[in-house]
Amino acid sequence: MAIKIRLARGGSKKRPFYRIVAADSRMPRDGRYIEKLGTYNPLLPKDSEERVKMDMERVQYWLGEGAQPTDRISRMLEAAGVLNKKERNNPKKAAPGKKAVERAEEKAAKAAEAAEAPAEDTEEQAAE
C-alpha cells in the first residue's frame, strides 16, 4: 500500500481549510485517510503560528514507514526543518517563447542601428 502525506480540503466555498493526513494514494483527495497529522489554514497570515500545525512525531513515524509527502507538504516540512531542502529547477518554464525571442532580437537590432547612426553623425560633426 502506497502511503502519501497530503492535504485533504475542508471548509466552505472560497474559505479553504486543509487537514494534513496520511492516506492511501489510491483514495480520493477528501476521502478516507489513515490518520490526521495536522491542519493548514491558508487564510491566516504567513507569520502566524496557527497557519500550519503538525504533530511532528507522527509525521516522522509515517516518513519512517515510507510515506511520500506531496510537494506542498514537503515544502512545509522543509520550512519546519524536518526534511532537507530539495533542489527544484524548471528552466523551460522561465524561458521565453519563440515570438518573444524574435521580438527581443528585432528590438536589439533596432537599438543597435539607432546607436550607430547618432555616433556616425557626431563623428562627421567633429571632423568639420
DSSP per residue, 96-115: --HHHHHHHHHHHHHHHHHH
pLDDT single digits (tens) 71-116? 899 989 988 888 888 777 777 777 888 899 999 999 999 988 888 7
Q: Are strands 3-12 and 68-69 parallel, antiparallel or unpaired?
A: parallel
CB–CB of 62/3 below 8 Å? yes
Domain residue ranges in the chain = 3-80, 92-127
Chain centroid to CA 106: 33
Mean pLDDT of 36-53: 92
For residue 126, the SS3 value is helix
CB atoms within 10 A of CB 62: 19
pLDDT mean across residues, the chain: 86
Identify the pLDDT of residue 12: 93
CB atoms within 10 A of CB 61: 14
Identify the pLDDT of residue 34: 93
The matching CATH number, chosen from 1.20.1070.10, 3.40.50.300, 3.30.1320.10, 3.30.499.10, for 3-80 is 3.30.1320.10
